[in-house]
Chains A and B, each alone.
Chain A
Amino acid sequence: MNKFRFGKYGETDVMSQLIGENYPALLVMSRFGIALGFGEKTIGDVCRENSVDVHTFLAIINLIANENRIPPSFETNISIESLIDYLHNSHDFFLNYRLPEIRKKLLKVLNKDEDDLNKAVLGYFDKFVSEVRKHMMNENRKVFPYVKSLQKAENKNKYSLVFSKPHEQIEMRLAEFKNILIKYYPAQSTHEINDVLFDIFNCEKDLASHNAVEEYLFLPAIVELENKIRKLS
């Protein structure tokens, strides 16, 4: 039986209820490697069975479920390792699944008589993807190793962390692309073009919540870690 629930999710809430109320939670689960088929189990039990840190899982879920973005109070229980794994998998999702899938669908719906225009449309999309790739790979290659070195207290050189501006630009580019397709692309209104647009709308939302996790959970955790190290040295 579903319980009456208001406010944040906790470990004793039932996993299937969470998904029913907030289907984007499915993305969070797959990024943590949690499979479906959990029956009536609670969030806490499912996490423990999959060796996922419950606090980190809930912090992300509660951030994503909260559409009005009440900034979360600082989460001290978060596991930075889990968060890095999550973000890594999330980057992988965008770069190796979501964005290539959108491109594939886009190719299918492009109007065959519009060769020049199609080049420009794909050019725009490819440029957008390469910007996203550059940003995410930089995090994978520079930011995550830096944070890991901080944890081992090996690193005392401060690395400058800039998230919010590139994030805003990425989100704006995708929104602009979508608007251009809607307003100017001479496509028939078909199920296929709707499908691409729905994917882009969803991708916009996913990117925004991915970015929110980095800005509201990851960044404050790093700052806290840096402060701790500065006090020790």
Chain B
Amino acid sequence: MNHLVKIAILEPSIIIRSGIVSVLHRMNGVRMDIFEIVDIAQLKSSLNREKPDLLIINPSIWNIFSLQQLKKEVANPQMKCVALQNSLTDNITLKAYDEIISIYDSAEQISEKLTKLIFEPEKENKPESLTFREKEIIACVIKGLTNKQIADKLHLSSHTVISHRRNISTKLQIHSTAGLTIYAIVNKLVNLDEI
């Protein structure tokens, strides 16, 4: 899977912060955009600006605030919060987090925990080859047909066409018509004079 995962790290210790960053960089396969937040005073403005998918945070500097409240305030209810534990923290505080990483976790454990967290919703639809229907839709898209026109031509609802197009983008990691054109020619879905 190749989409960009934005990760924010709030941890005042530069040694621990650099440590987690370097472990994250060793995880291949996922493109990450990591940014570090040094000062808790900058937390909200950073989160507002960057809208990360994941917040890794030292629970001992955040235990007085509610994470739910934070997600609401930065208008990012989807954000997953991970506690980066370097000392004992009480269970009630930890319960509020989506996942807990201990500084003694191995790289494999960390990678497994984060993978589960980030890719949870799409676990079932593994990248696979396109269906016949999806290929038909690509051919229509690159000829410049609108969703409505495709729907009429293939006797589908517009809603179905949109969801097919979304699946195509996820499977191929191609989001533009120009990109689909290249894909279609390589895979002989169309001839250039048809476009």
Interface residues of A (CB under 8 A from B): 68-71, 116-117, 119-121, 123-124, 127, 172-173, 176-177, 179-180, 184-186
The answer to whether A120 and B36 have CB atoms under 8 Å apart is no
Minimum C-beta distance from A212 to chain B (A):
11
The answer to whether A117 and B179 have CB atoms under 8 Å apart is no
Q: Kindly list the 9 A-B residue pairs having the minimum CB-CB distance in the complex, ordered from nearest.
A: A116-B192, A124-B178, A184-B186, A69-B35, A117-B185, A120-B182, A120-B181, A70-B36, A120-B185
The answer to whether A124 and B182 have CB atoms under 8 Å apart is yes
Instruction: Give the interface centre of A127, A173, A176, A185 by most chain B CB atoms within 10 Å.
Output: A176
* Chain A residues near B192 (CB-CB < 8 A): 116, 119-120
The answer to whether B178 and A127 have CB atoms under 8 Å apart is yes
The answer to whether A71 and B46 have CB atoms under 8 Å apart is yes
Complex Cα distance, B2 from A87, in Å, reads 31
Q: Return the CB mask of B12-38 against A: 1 if under 8 Å, else 0.
A: 000000000100000000000111111
Minimum C-beta distance from A150 to chain B (A):
22
The answer to whether B178 and A120 have CB atoms under 8 Å apart is yes
The answer to whether A124 and B36 have CB atoms under 8 Å apart is no
Measured CB to CB, the nearest residue on chain B to A126 is: B178
Tally of contact residues, B, Cβ under 8 A: 25
Binds A, one of B54-62, B113-121, B169-177: B169-177
Interface presence of B191 (CB below 8 A): yes
27 CB-based A-B contacts, threshold 8 Å: A68-B21, A68-B36, A69-B34, A70-B37, A70-B38, A71-B42, A71-B46, A117-B182, A117-B185, A119-B192, A120-B178, A120-B181, A121-B182, A123-B178, A124-B176, A124-B178, A124-B182, A176-B174, A176-B175, A176-B176, A176-B179, A177-B179, A179-B2, A180-B174, A180-B179, A184-B182, A185-B186
Picked from B33, B36, B42, B176, the residue with its CB within 8 Å of the CB of A173 is B176
Minimum C-beta distance from B179 to chain A (A):
5
Interface presence of B97 (CB below 8 A): no
Given contacts A71-B46, A184-B186, whether A116 and B191 have CB atoms under 8 Å apart is yes
Interface residues of B (CB under 8 A from A): 2, 21, 33-38, 42, 46, 49, 173-176, 178-179, 181-183, 185-187, 191-192
Complex Cα distance, B177 from A123, in Å, reads 11
Instruction: Give the interface centre of A121, A184, A185 by most chain B CB atoms within 10 Å.
Output: A184
Complex Cα distance, B186 from A135, in Å, reads 30
Complex Cα distance, B32 from A69, in Å, reads 12
* Chain A residues near B191 (CB-CB < 8 A): 116
Complex Cα distance, B35 from A69, in Å, reads 5
The answer to whether A179 and B173 have CB atoms under 8 Å apart is yes
Complex Cα distance, B36 from A69, in Å, reads 7
Measured CB to CB, the nearest residue on chain B to A184 is: B186
The answer to whether A186 and B186 have CB atoms under 8 Å apart is yes
